[in-house]
Structure 1
Amino acid sequence: MKPRILLVEDDQTTAAFLAAAAEALPAAVDIAASCAAARVQASNIAYSLWLVDAHLPDGTGAGLLHELRGLGMSTPAIAHTAARDGEVHQTLHDAGFEAVLVKPLAAAALRAALAGALSGRMSSRVAESGLSEAASADAIPATWDDAAALRALNGARAHVDALRQLFIDELPAARGLVVASARSGNHDALRGALHRLRASCGFVGAARLEQAVVALQDAPASAAALAAFDAAAQELSPPD
């Protein structure tokens, strides 16, 4: 029988990428978009592995793992995060995750990590693929980085196109949340929205928008950074 994996991820583009990559192991994948949904799934289904986002709408991956362990569940667990901060990674390891995957990462890198965990060979480490690094402030990236997107999906052009369409469909809502949070000074909501968007930009190769996301993460109170983000997002958003 194929192993069954619980993927906990609230961003639809990221969830679609991770699920498709994991299913090619092969594996059966169930998706939960919140801590509450994941608790229900994990309590009722025997999973071979949990793949948990570090930041969720109703809590954290570390908090969710603590709750599940408190219920006596010992399923192996891997965290995934767009954060590149070593302290964040260490916190996830200390919470009990066997590995930390840094998004975006290529499908092959994800499958290697999952296979290692499923076979009991995964040592505690941070896995980074180097798939997507935002361009420097002096560079002007292309709107779409096809090479990065194709690397992420093992050269499958049809998969890239499908994932990009999902990303584009979801982008207006994400853009609206970022702009509203920045203008209202709600930096917690802004950080969360940018964190999710950065990972999905990397998966689909939205290079110019990813650069703008990183710049706004670095300067959340900057009107210029917000304007640059808004322009890059509007460039990709479907017409009203």
Structure 2
Amino acid sequence: MRPGPRRSLTHPEILDAAFELLETKGFDAVSVRGVAGALGLTPTAMYTYYPNKQALLAGMVEQVLGRLHGVDPTTTDAADAGAPAPALEPRDRVQALASALRDLLVERPGAVGLLLATPLDGPNAARMDEDLLTAFTDAGLDLASAGRAAHAVRVHVLGAVAFDAADAVREADAAREAEVAPDPAAGSASAAASDTLWDDLESFPLSGRSRDLDDDPAGRFAWGLDRLLDGLLAGSGPAAR
């Protein structure tokens, strides 16, 4: 029996299905055909919404960055209660925007690859850049320096989330391996290989100790952002502080 016509889909529904593919099967699985299959559509029907993969990826980027809209870094919680909200200083605005972007990407770490592989030329991406540029120029930087500073902040956010996500994957893999009862023969071979690979580990004592001392991704991110802004805004005047 031939199924009846499927109801029209919304863009958020399509993009949610695309993100589900991204997080479960990886970047290469995200395509117009792949999303169509996940939603029970024909590829032809999907082309009505997104004519090609690049358009689909751009839509996914815009959905992520669109969640920054409404996160106004110039207001505080007082605005929610109807009280006048004091404007934040430029540095605080950058910190609020960078932290909000990190929070979004922590929820969807696969989006880091999207932001690196897709031109950030949509309206939500432009709004994010405009907010960063405005904050840095308000802090006293010229436009060229503000552009470089905005780029440095984006790199810090994306890099921090990417490294933290990789650490989380390694920890999850290690936890799964620990749950499997080891084969004695395999364990012996594994130990031998480990001895061969890491027999010089005591030559790097600080590396192991530093990892043990810093297991707070959010705190590490905030510390790095503070130090980055210290350098970017050094000598730019009182408005930067």
Query: Is the TM value for this pair above 0.5?
Result: no
Report the structure number with the largest CA radius of gyration.
2
Instruction: Give TM-score scaled by structure 1 length.
Output: 0.28
> Which structure is higher in helix share?
2
TM-score scaled by structure 2? 0.28
Considering fraction of residues, name the structure with more strand.
1
Give the number of the structure with larger relative contact order, counting CA–CA contacts within 8 Å between residues 6 or more apart.
2
